[in-house]
Amino acid sequence: MNTVVLEVRSLADTLADASRAMKRRHGEREARIAFATPELLWKVLTAKRWELLKALCGAGPVSIREAARRVGRDVKAVHADATALLDAGLLNRSPDGGIEFPFQAVKVEFVLQAA
């Protein structure tokens, strides 16, 4: 299954993992998107944006208008959310100008621990 992993971790940890992965050069790579803080993760992935991702999951490329129809929201609001998700790397822009969620699943990983 083509899964994207969203995680909360420092830039240094993310770069160290990328360096190790490049040295291995084999095995199936997992798509990962890191956020510096849990607050940033929740700022980018609001409830409405989760709803949009769910509607786009497995749908292939769709227009913003079609995405808005699927979630029952106005085009302007969906366009703003799609832009935020494009900027975060969760959506791709299709050649015809539509948007696509290129994954079948999302996994969120972060640890909450005492200071």
Predicted confidence at residue 9, as pLDDT, reads 80
5: which 2 tokens?
A: 């992993």
What is the bridge-based pairing of β-strands 3-8 and 31-35?
Answer: parallel
Predicted confidence at residue 24, as pLDDT, reads 63
CA–CA separation, 87 and 92 (whole Å)? 9
Q: Average of pLDDT values for 77-94?
A: 96
Over the chain, what is the mean pLDDT? 86
Domains and CATH numbers, the chain: 3-109 (1.10.10.10)
Q: What are phi and psi of 62, to 5 degrees?
A: -135, 160
Question: Taking every pair of C-alpha atoms in the chain, what is the biggest distance, in angstroms?
Answer: 48
109: which 2 tokens?
A: 């990983």
Q: Give yes or no for residue 19 having a pLDDT over 70.
A: no
